[in-house]
Structure 1
Amino acid sequence: MPKQPEPAGARRAAPMPVREHRTASTQHRAEPVRRHDVGDLPIFAALDLGTNNCRLLVAVPGRPGQFRVIDAFSRIVRLGEGLSGSGRLSQAAMDRAVEALKVCADKLGSRPIRGARLVATEACRSAENGAEFLARVESEAGLKLEIIDRQTEARLAVSGCGSLVERDTSGVVLFDIGGGSSEIALIDLSGRRSPRLANHIVSWTSLPVGVVSLAERFGGRNVTRETFAAMVDDVAALLAAFKERDRIRHLMKGSRFHLLGTSGTVTTLAGVHLGLERYDRRRVDGLWMDNASVDSMIEKLLGWDFQARVANACIGADRADLVLAGCAILEAIRRVWPSERLRVADRGLREGILSELMADDGVWRRQWRNGSRP
């Protein structure tokens, strides 16, 4: 089991505010770590440095297949800002990411981590200076990040969402709309189901487009209906090149098939749909939206100007210029795989990492043998 060494010169992290986080079907509360909170339970960590966000989860195992988040961090860093035009990570974007990663390093260095996986995705995969940036991260933040390929990214996203797929489901198209790429997995559950949802992936693709790259090419602040249609057509052309897109076509009729979205786009749509005065993960994660509701939310966002999007509590200034690009990617996906329902997941890659780390370590098997319950 790979372990993350304690960052050189790490400082003890200040206690973070209490934050809600739900895994599986249970709501958990993330709290500042104290020895009596976790006892002898092993601690695991997952970090995801994406094109738009830097996110960290620290957790201990719960009942088999579940875990309890004890610390979390998320910051929008826009690492991929300008990347689609220059092919390189900008100095300002790298500076923002390094500062966020130093916070993560403090959190990791303040507790005994049993196993960790720290990953970087599309921005570092595609940038000419991606490797150079990661060397800087290791030097300045003391963290060694792993650039994962797109297939691994898709598998981990699926692994993180297993508990949101109900037992009577026969087919799912799971998608993760990122900042620089979008991963899509076709999942066939019509046969005997294994505990790991990722074992049922029959085909997958990664589109070289995400909310940041699409918004930079077409403009994200002032999006007309013509601009939105052009974005949808651009993504649709990429999907048309996915030769295995019909692998679960035979499962798509009726209520036993659905879409499952894990990204800021779908969680934002869900928050707007619910009319939340502030984003509430407990109400969003696992929410079902029907076709009419998704259509209505996209139409509503198209009718808002940039300032109206900024003013919405579930969008804000950080996402106001990206959300319609995300909606365009979602719309293209819905056209290829029409479904009566979309399930919203405020979880994904990091939760998938934690689930796989804990399963591979055998913590749930040992609990089962020992009859212990955390």
Structure 2
Amino acid sequence: MNRAAVPPGGRVAAFIDLGTNSVRLLIVRLNENGSYTVLTRQKVTVRLGEGEFESGRLQPAAMERTVLACKNLMEAARGFGADETVAVATSATREAENQDEFLALMKEGAGVDLEVISGLEEARLIHLGVASGGDTGGREAIFIDIGGGSTEISVGGHHAPRHRTSLKLGAIRLPALFPPDEDGRIDLETYEAMRAYVLAAVRPALDSFGDIGTDLAFGSSGTIENLAAIAGDRSLLAYTDLCAALRRLYPMSLEERRQIPAINPGRADIIVGGGVILEVLMAGIGLPAIRISDRGVIDGLLVDYLSGFEGFLQGSPVPVRRQSVVHLMRACRADEGHAHQVARLALRLFDTGAASGVHALGEEMRELLEYAALLHDTGKIIAFRNHQHHSRYIVENAGMVGFSRRETLIIGETACFHRKKAPSEKALIAAGLDPAGAKAVRTLSALLRIAENLDRSQLGLVNDAALRGEGEGVVIEVRSQGGCDLEIWGVRDALPAVEKCLGRRVEIRVA
């Protein structure tokens, strides 16, 4: 595929996702170095599908408020200087008998050219979007998105689904078919009827998937996020907790649901419907729990868009964690050549040090060392002075995808201590690390400090480096393609901090 180059100065793109319940806007600036900057994210609840599932038609009031909301979002896009707007519509527009009328109103009243996408395309975009924000560890996963009018399910790796389907089940559609009483309460008979209806609808789809082969699952949509919040964990929803939450919610009046802090009041009337769909799906697939994602169609649109430009990793087979690190490095305009040279040398020191018994850290820490090396200079985007502290702040607060809090802390603290004073175990524990993590950072930061100084001139003069245990001490062996006096001087200057972290005498030898 021919990929376009991002023009000098970058390119601003806007994305609009018009769903049954809400419309979302995402505006980003594509940068020449293969990174992008989010300029704004906005969401407006429009309830476009209100009344449609009873009549088959979009209602005038719903169309009017949707056009107004989209007009305002388009004004925002123009305000940010968008060079292009990609706008899609999903279930409510897709099924409306008066679709053409609505599309004309959107074009005339809001200036939006909407593309109405199929349910399968919606499932693909959701898969791309959610996978771009969740680490699957190289495994296949199940992706479930419960919208207002439809539910999309896909199975596959992080860059492409191998199975996908779209069901005419949604958090707005289901209550329209099984209305509550005038107070918003749902009796047991109605609740069980909803479950039976959903089960009949999902069984053929799940049967068509065959043996899914994984229980790693991601759930997206505001409804799923709210259900997880009710259960008390916004990142993971256990099936047992979901069932308990639904048993509590369905007998409540609408006003009682609105009083629950974890529920968005605008979702109080549809959360049970969405919950029933999720409950039946999790039971049918056999999912003990589902991870929660705040991404969806609009993020898939971004991944698709970026894949058409040179230099972007989004949508590629590159693991999500590495994508996230490289994106942050580029967004902070770090010197990539220097960062990769330091990472290469740091990994050589790690591997040779492990082989000779200098340390006993495993593959997990090796990966985190590489990422710390790639990100160690990101703080220079703020200022060179004390940039190591700025790097730590950026790493620990950038929301890198796919990392636990502990892993993020290890990367950030390792990046911080590539220069100046050596870290104490006490200070690292005070920063939030456990004793084992603090001990690991002391070793990793020593290796990174050596590697950083071995490219002090940033000319890539050092071909190779190794760490050898020799008696009670440690030897750093350096091979270069020519003179590297500045690098050797830098390492010697760093030896006191390195020795403090490794707890051993260290010397350097140049081959």
TM-score by length of 2: 0.56
2-structure distance, mates of 1:349, 1:138: 21
The answer to which structure has the higher helix fraction is 2
- In 2, distance between residues paired with 1:272 and 1:327? 11
Matches of residues 49-68 of structure 1 in structure 2 within 5 Å? Answer: 49-61=18-30, 67-68=36-37
1:16 equivalent in structure 2: none
Q: Secondary structure at the match of 2:290?
A: strand
- Provide the residue aligned with 1:236 in structure 2: 199
Question: Is the 1:56–1:104 Cα contact (8 Å) retained in structure 2?
Answer: yes
| Structure 2 CA distance for partners of 1:360 and 1:310, relative to 1, 3 Å | same
Cα distance, 1:83 vs structure 2: 0.8
Judge conservation of contact 2:9–2:32 (CA < 8 Å) in 1: no
Contact 2:134–2:293, Cα closer than 8 Å, also in 1: no
Instruction: Considering Cα pairs closer than 8 Å and 6+ residues apart, tell me whether 1 or 2 has the greater RCO.
Output: 1
Q: Residue in 1 aligned with 2:363?
A: none
What is the CA distance between 1:326 and its match in structure 2?
0.3
User: What is the CA deviation profile of residues 177-224 of structure 1, one whole-angstrom value per residue up to 9, with x for unaligned ones?
Assistant: 11111111122x4xxxxxxx242x221111112111111110152212
Aligned pair partner of 1:88 in 57, 62, 87? 57
Corresponding residue number in structure 2 for 1:332: 280
* RMSD between aligned residues: 2.5
- Aligned ranges for residues 235-314 of structure 1 at < 5 Å? 235-242=198-205, 244-249=207-212, 251-252=213-214, 257-274=215-232, 284=234, 287-314=235-262
Tell whether 2:177 aligns with 1:217: yes
Counterpart residue identity of residue 352, structure 1: G
Q: 1:65 to 1:131 in 2, by over 3 A?
A: farther
The corresponding residue for 1:26 is none
| Correspondence for 2:71 | 102
Q: Distance in 2 between matches of 1:186 and 1:132?
A: 35
Is 1:149 the equivalent of 2:118? Answer: yes
Cα shift at 1:225:
2.5
Give the Cα separation in 2 of the matches to 1:62 and 1:290: 40
Q: Aligned equivalents of 2:45 and 2:196: distance in 1?
A: 28
Contact map agreement 1:174 1:184 (CA 8 A) in 2: yes
* 1:351 is aligned to 2:299: yes
Letter in 2 for 1:151: L
Q: Indicate how the Cα distance of structure 1 residues 202 and 247 shifts in structure 2: closer, same or farther if over 3 A, else same.
A: farther
The 3-state SS of whatever aligns with 2:172 is: helix
Contact 1:186 1:248 in 2 (8 A): no
Q: Is the 8 A contact 1:115 1:357 kept in 2?
A: no
1:226 matched to which residue of 2? 189
Return closer, same or farther for 1:243/1:301 CA change in 2, 3 Å cut-off. Answer: closer
The answer as to 2:312 corresponding to 1:364 is: yes
Amino acid at match of 1:48: D
Once the two structures are superposed, residues 223-245 of structure 1 have per-residue CA deviations (whole angstroms, 9 ceiling, x without a partner) of 12322221111111111222654
Match of 2:101 in 1: 132
Q: Distance in 1 between matches of 2:115 and 2:138?
A: 34
Closer/same/farther in 2, CA of residues 327 and 66 from structure 1, 3 Å limit: farther
Structure 2 unaligned residues grouped into runs of 5+: 1-7, 314-325, 333-511
**Residue identity (%):** 30
**1:317 counterpart = 2:265:** yes
Match of 1:158 in 2: 127
Q: Deviation at 1:117?
A: 1.3
Cα pair distance change 1:246/1:62, threshold 3 Å: same
Matched, 1:184 2:144: no
Are residues 130 and 64 of structure 1, via their aligned partners in 2, closer, same or farther at CA, if it must alter by over 3 Å?
Answer: farther
1:66-85 alignment, distance < 5 Å: 67-85=36-54
Amino acid at match of 1:55: R
* Inter-CA distance 45–294: structure 2 relative to 1 (3 Å threshold): same
Q: Distance in 1 between matches of 2:20 and 2:124?
A: 18
The change in CA–CA distance for 1:246 and 1:135 in structure 2 (over 3 A counts) is closer
Tell me which structure has the larger Cα radius of gyration: 2
Aligned residue-pair number? 309
Q: CA deviation at 1:109?
A: 1.6
Give the letter aligned to residue 207 of structure 1. L
Higher percent of residues as strand: 1
Tell me the secondary structure at the aligned position of residue 312 of structure 2: helix
SS of residue in 2 equivalent to 1:113: coil
Letter in 1 for 2:259: A
Structure 1 residue 88, shift from structure 2 partner:
0.7
Distance 1:45 1:363 in 2: 20
The one-letter amino acid of 2:77's match is: L
Any residues of structure 2 matched to 1:35-54 within 5 Å, and which? 40-54=9-23
Q: Distance in 2 between matches of 1:298 and 1:74?
A: 26
CA offset at residue 334 of structure 1? 1.0
Give CA deviations for 1:141-198 in whole Å, capped at 9, x if unaligned. Answer: 11111101111100100111114443436332211111111111122x4xxxxxxx24
Return the TM-score normalized by structure 1: 0.76
Residues 291, 208 of structure 1: CA spacing in aligned structure 2 closer, same or farther, 3 A cutoff?
closer
